[in-house]
Amino acid sequence: MTVVAVEPPHAEDVPRRLADRPTPADRFFFLFTRAGGLSVLVLMGLVGAFLTYRAGKALEQANIAFLTTEAWEPDSGNFGIAAVLVGTLLIAGVAILIAFPLAAGTALYISEYAPRRLRSTLISLVDLMAAIPSVVYGLWGFFLLQPHMLVVGQEGNGLVRWLATYLGWIPLFAVDGADPGDPLSTATVYTSSTFIAGVVVALMIAPVMCSVMREVFSQAPVGEREGAYALGTTRWGMIRAVVLPFGRAGMIGGTMLGLGRALGETIAVYLIISPIFVIQPHILQNGASSISSLIALRYGEASGFGTSALMAAGLALFLITLLVNVLASAVVNRSRSGAVTG
């Protein structure tokens, strides 16, 4: 950018005209980056437009029944996302309930309690955990967590059976076909459930949530921290009075970011659940479903119309995760801590 001052001929002070004339190299540079931005815009727009266009055919035929039908038989025209949507939300809900305390506790530990020397190592470790491929989490869930920790042996001893036995009176924890009093009952009713998939997804999203929360916790103003100490409070008192109120929006935003990841998770869930196409509110019972695993399960056998129906399901999933992410960034940006970090 070359700024050229055009001097008036007479000596009086008048506002000078400042003209911004980009050099040819600059002009090329602007054009080039603009082309890059435009091509990304076109590519991303293409994904969205194509999804909507292809989903349109299926949505036109199914109409409002798309939201209320449980079965998935697109070739006979009887299909909808009621069951898979509920399944997706239940898995994500279980995951969030488990991941939130883990993430918040770890974030507090790293930002408040950990020795200063360990801090950067811990941050790297949490980031590393977020980078572990989902198929590895799936393997762990299927080969270690389920058979060795949650549903052990022929009788299915473990946390799941304990929950079903003692909390089975809550409809959510009820398990049809399981008799807690019968020691010979099989473990299969407790396997491949929403709950186990949720535990695995929780471990996948906890590091993502943790790094957002840690970031805002560590931004809490030093002056206010020292003020709280000077008034004689304990460390926990300082955290409750300064760090948590300051980081509340970050906690909400991080949790919603994790929720977005949990809703879209495919492979780990696919490896663990045994898919069913009815609304299954019993989270401990065999049989679960999610939109992403529906797509992974059915894409191969799909006809032209079946692909369109899967597209509609994918579009619904995309819209939900989009909504969650937009809300998350709005919450973070409008808060006090967001003003610092943003």
* Sites for other proteins among residues 50-89 (CB under 8 A): 50-51, 54
Q: How many Cβ atoms from other residues are within 10 Å of residue 78's Cβ?
A: 13
Q: Which stretch binds other proteins (CB under 8 A): 79-87, 96-104, 177-185, 332-340?
A: 96-104
Read off the tokens for 114.
Answer: 């950990």
Q: Compare residues 11 and 150 and give the one whose CB is closer to other proteins.
A: 150
**Closest separation in Å from C-beta 194 to other proteins:** 18
CA-nearest of 259, 246, 262, 289 to 82 is 289
CA distance 160 to 170: 14
Q: Which of residues 233-252 bind other proteins (CB under 8 A)?
A: 233-237, 239
Read off the tokens for 202.
Answer: 């929780």
**Closest separation in Å from C-beta 147 to other proteins:** 12
Q: Which stretch binds other proteins (CB under 8 A): 174-182, 218-226, 318-326, 332-340?
A: 318-326
Question: Does 90 help bind other proteins (rule: CB under 8 A)?
Answer: no
Q: How many Cβ atoms from other residues are within 10 Å of residue 296's Cβ?
A: 16
Question: In this chain, which of 16, 17, 19, 32 binds other proteins, going by CB under 8 A?
Answer: 32
Question: Does 299 help bind other proteins (rule: CB under 8 A)?
Answer: yes
CA distance 90 to 145: 19
CA distance 181 to 183: 6
Burial 143-153 (b: 16+ CB within 10 A, else e): eebbeeebbbe
Question: In this chain, which of 19, 71, 322, 340 binds other proteins, going by CB under 8 A?
Answer: 322
**Closest separation in Å from C-beta 200 to other proteins:** 10
Q: Which of residues 98-137 bind other proteins (CB under 8 A)?
A: 101-106, 108-110, 112-114, 120, 122, 124-129, 131-137
Q: Are 150 and 159 in contact (CB under 8 A)?
A: yes
Q: Which of residues 169-208 bind other proteins (CB under 8 A)?
A: 203, 206-207
